[in-house]
Each structure stands twice: as C-alpha cells, then as structure tokens.
Amino acid sequence: MKIAVIGTGYVGLVSGVCFADLGNEVICVDKVASKIAMLRQGEVPIYEPGLRELIQKNVAAGRLSFDDELSGAVRQSDIVILAVGTPSLPSGEANLAYIEQAAQEIALAMNGYKIVMTKSTVPVGTNERIQQIIGQFSGYPFDVVSVPEFLREGSAIQDTLYPDRIIVGTDSVRAGETVVGLHRPLTDNIIVTDIRSAEMIKYASNAFLATKISFINEIANICEKLGADVTKVAEGMGYDKRIGSSFLQAGIGYGGSCFPKDTGALIQIAGNVNYEFKLLKAVVEVNKDQRFNVIAKLKESLGDLKGKTIGIWGLAFKPNTDDVRDAPSIEIVETLLAKGASIRLYDPVAMSTFKAVVNDPSLVWCDDPYETAEHCDALCLLTEWDEFRQVDLVQTEALMKQPILIDGRNVFSGEQIAITNFCYYSVGRPSMRRHVQEPILGTY
C-alpha cells in the first residue's frame, strides 16, 4: 500500500516507520520543516528505543521518506493516516483545530478515492466531523476509518508490531476490508465496529488503566497506615484473572501525554451529554494528590525544607522516554523551589525536555546519579530507570549530608536498604521504614 502519515509525533512517526517496515511505501508529513530536515538527516526528534535504526533501515530500502508538503503526499497515497496532535484545552476538552485543518488540507489535495484513517485520539463523533469537512471541500470519493492507537512510550515499536488488538471503526465494507488487510500481518485480533464505538474504546481503555493506577495508590496509602505491604497485596490481587497484575505498581502516579489528557477529555465528553463521571473525577484527583506524598515525606524527615538540598533522580514521566508532559517531577520540583530548597537533578535522557518546562537558574544539573547525591540532605527517586536500580547505595550514602532516600517507585528491595544507614521511605511498604539518628526529625 501507499500511505501518507500526517504528523510525526510519537504516534505518526512510529506508525509510519512500522508500516514501512511491513513493506508499504510511506511518506511521513509534518508542517514543521526543521523536524522534516532532521528526519531526512537521520536524526530523530523524539526518544524512542530502536526508532532511529528502523528509520535508517527503511529509508535505505526506499520505503520511507519525509516531506513538509501535505498535498503531494496525499496525491501519491491510497491511505492517509491522520496522526496530528489533539492537546487539551483549559476545559479538559480535546483541541480539534489541528485535526480539522488537516482534514481540509487532505480534501483539497485529493485526486481520487482515498481512505482517511484517524489514529489521533479524538472525542466520540469527531470522525463524523472529519467526514463532513472532507465532503465539503472535495468532490472525490473517500471513506473515513477510526483506528485508535494503543502505544506506550518507550515500547512503541513493540506495541505497533505486536499489538494486543486492532480496532477498526467504519461504516464502509470497502474501507474496512482494506484497513483490516493492512493490519493483518500484525495480529488476528482485529475488531471491526462502528466508528463511535472505536473512538470510545480508546478513551475507555486509558481511563480504566488510569483507574487501576489510582486504585493501587489508594491501597498503598492505606497500607502505610495499617502496616501491610502493597507489593504483596498487588501480587495477590494480580493472580486473579479478572484483575491481572499490570498497572498495579504503586508509586507517585501517572503522567505523560495520554492518561492525563484522555481522562480529562472523557470527563468532558460525559459532561457534554449531561453525565457526571464521578469515578473518573476521583481517579484524576487521587493521581494529582499522590505525587505530593513525596513532599510530605521530605517534610516529615527534614522539617522545614528551606535551605535544604534535595537530589532528584528521574524527570521523565516513565523510563525509556524523554517525555516530561504532566510528569510528577514538574510539580514536585516547583513545590520544592517554592519552599526554598536547593535542587540537584539528573535523568538519563530527559534533562533537556525538562529544562524547557522548568529552568529555574538555581537548579543544579548533574551528569550522573552520584554527582546528584553530593551534599544532599535527601534524595528522591521519581522515575524507575534501570540506571537507578543498579546504583551503589553505600557509595551514594557516603556522598550525602544526610542519609534520606524517598523511593517514589519502590525500586529498592529490603536487602539493598539493609546494608545502608538510609532513612528510607517507599510507597505502601511500612515494614521497610528506617530510623536514623538526630538531627533528622521523625522516622518513617
């Protein structure tokens, strides 16, 4: 198939590269000329393991190219994939301006029958709006198909090439058969449904996963008060096939581009039809509060944070990405700055993206975990990078002013902590609380 992909963010770029790797001819389009120039030079504007190599392979094979002009790519293609951004408005609703503009440009460029395949996450009813726009500006035949993405940053290529399922929403037999055929090499788990159900499946899936995260974090908070271990609780729950073990890892909450945006959008979608989504509102509230447990534990161990030096391990919202959108690290660092703390930071790949969001001149940017720990009154682990799992805690402790470690992702085991003198705080594991001598205030 000949495919044009409009938008070269995570979804568009990864999808386009993977479709090329399956043997299709793919043109990835983006209005940002500098991004296209970067891709043509073999550079990748996002951090995603394995993506650079896959791009180089398919460009060399002549199956993948990049362009900043939409019209030519649309004319050359049988399928046009919409993968432009739908950022949140202040109300929480999805901003559809980019989608609507792209639909109009696609319509004006058409030179024959096209299948427009929407992979952007859009509110229920948006694909019908896309259909109206294209029909208004083009006299050529076309079909609109909703194929929502379920990619996880850091494993997006794996998720694309080995998906759990493919959802195809369409009211056209012709388009449905073509799109099913395009995805057939990936999986036999292909569900064909109406367009509105396909749109809703995406939001419902992300809302449910967000709910699992907030639920286990609430359980962790109760475990801390009752003396239970949330990791054991989650393990016991996970063996129940009705529940499953995924997304039951207690921590400081979710972030990134999908869960915060999609939960907010679904609350607004429900509100637009006069339904109050009480459960999802609670999920969002719990998630927002969870990250501030780090601040509470710092205050419990150090008292007044003014003048204290705090080290931060990890800035990305999750490992294996440089994405800091809605990352817990942002609010934690901003809160610490507001309380007068000095902050030392390190992340294996997300330093530059974090600087673009929070670039206070007092921040100290470090080159590795050990430099970060130097002269610190406390360390906070916010992202569970493997590099932090492998750190020598005895060496780390020796570099610090006070041995306080806030493990926001439950990375370290009891055995690792036992050989140190750390005053150790984790999430929902009170049995691992450690006492230290004065002048540290309190114990946990």
Measured distance CA(84)–CA(80) in Å, rounded: 12
Q: Is residue 438 part of a domain?
A: no
Task: Check whether 141 has a pLDDT greater than 60.
Answer: yes
Residue 99 pLDDT level (bands cut at 50, 70, 90): very high
Which of 87-96, 272-281, 435-444 is predicted with the least confidence, judged by mean pLDDT?
435-444
Q: Does residue 442 lie within any of the structural domains?
A: no
Q: Residues of the chain with pLDDT > 70: what percent?
A: 98
User: Do residues 57 and 152 share a domain?
Assistant: yes
pLDDT in tens, 279-312: 999 999 999 999 999 999 999 999 999 999 999 9
pLDDT computed for residue 190 by the predictor: 98
pLDDT digits (tens, 9 = 90+) for 104-122: 999 999 999 999 999 999 9
How far is CA 115 from its chain centroid? Answer: 28
Residue 443 resides in a domain: no
**Does 188 lie in the same domain as 47?**
yes
Residue 32, domain member (yes or no): yes
pLDDT at residue 90, rounded to an integer: 87
Q: How confident is the model at residue 257 (pLDDT cuts 50, 70, 90)?
A: confident
* Same domain (yes/no): 63, 108: yes
Provide the CB-side half-sphere exposure for 285 (13 A, CA): 7
Q: Stretch 155-175: mean pLDDT, rounded? A: 96
Residues marked as binding? 30, 35, 86, 121, 150-153, 202, 247-251, 255, 261, 318, 325
Please tell me whether residues 347 and 233 are part of one structural domain.
no
Q: Is the peptide bond before 260 cis (omega within 30 degrees of 0)?
A: no
26-47 pLDDT tens trace: 999 999 999 999 999 989 988 8
pLDDT tens digit sequence for 205-254:
999 999 999 999 999 999 999 999 999 999 999 999 999 999 999 999 99
- Judge whether 439 lies within some domain: no
**What's the chain's length in residues?**
444
Range of the domain at 122: 2-193
Q: Which residue has the higher pLDDT, 145 or 442?
A: 145
Would the pLDDT of 166 be above 70? yes
CB distance 236 to 164 below 8 Å? no
Percent of the chain with pLDDT over 90: 91
Whether 85 and 234 map to the same domain: the answer is no
Lowest mean pLDDT among 45-49, 102-106, 390-394, 422-426: 45-49
Q: Please check whether residues 226 and 273 belong to one and the same domain.
A: yes
> What is the model's pTM?
0.91
pLDDT of residue 54: 96
Q: How far apart are CA 224 and CA 300, in angstroms?
A: 14
Active site residues: 258
- Whether 92 maps to a domain, the answer reads yes
Q: Is the pLDDT of residue 438 over 70?
A: no
Which residue among 193, 221, 240 closes a domain? 193
Give the annotated binding-site residues for NAD(+): 30, 35, 86, 121, 153, 261, 325
Work out the pLDDT band at 435, boundaries 50, 70, 90: low
- Give residue 433's pLDDT band: very low, low, confident or very high (50, 70, 90): confident
* Local confidence band at 443 (pLDDT 50, 70, 90 cut-offs): very low
- Distance separating alpha carbons of residues 159 and 150, to the nearest angstrom: 7
Q: Tell me the C-alpha distance between 345 and 347, whole Å.
A: 7
44 and 136 share one domain: yes
Map the chain to HEC letters.
CEEEEECCCHHHHHHHHHHHHCCCEEEEECCCHHHHHHHHCCCCCCCCCCHHHHHHHHHHCCCEEEECCHHHHHHHCCEEEECCCCCECCCCCECCHHHHHHHHHHHHHCCCCEEEEECCCCCCCHHHHHHHHHHHHCCCCEEEEECCCCCCCCCHHHHHHCCCCEEEECCCHHHHHHHHHHHCCCCCCEEEECHHHHHHHHHHHHHHHHHHHHHHHHHHHHHHHHCCCHHHHHHHHHCCCCCCCCCCCCCCCCCCCCHHHHHHHHHHHHHHCCCCCHHHHHHHHHHHHHCCHHHHHHHHHHCCCCCCEEEEECCCCCCCCCCCCCCHHHHHHHHHHHCCCEEEEECCCCHHHHHCCCCCCCCEECCCHHHHHCCCCEEEECCCCHHHHCCCHHHHHHHCCCCEEEECCCCCCHHHHHCCCCEEECCCCHHHCCCCCCCCCCCC
Identify whether 441 is part of a domain. Answer: no
Q: Please give the residue that has the higher pLDDT: either 437 or 325.
A: 325
Residues 160 and 206 in one domain: no
- The binding site for substrate consists of 150-153, 202, 247-251, 255, 318
Q: Do residue 302 and residue 393 come from a single domain? A: yes
Residue 437: predicted pLDDT = 43
Q: How many domains does the chain have?
A: 3
Q: Which of 271, 289, 307 is a domain's end point?
A: 289
Mean pLDDT computed over every residue of the chain: 94
Identify the domain boundary among 193, 210, 244.
193
Q: Is the pLDDT of residue 181 over 70?
A: yes
Distance CA 93, CA 261 (A): 8
Write the CATH number for 236: 1.10.1040.10
Indicate whether 243 and 376 sit together in one domain: no
pLDDT given at position 434: 67
Indicate the pLDDT class of residue 439, thresholds 50, 70 and 90: very low
Residues 338-384 have pLDDT tens digits of 999 999 999 999 999 999 999 999 999 999 999 999 999 999 999 99
Do 295 and 280 share a structural domain? no
- pLDDT of 444 reads 34
Q: How far apart are the first and last CA of the chain?
A: 60
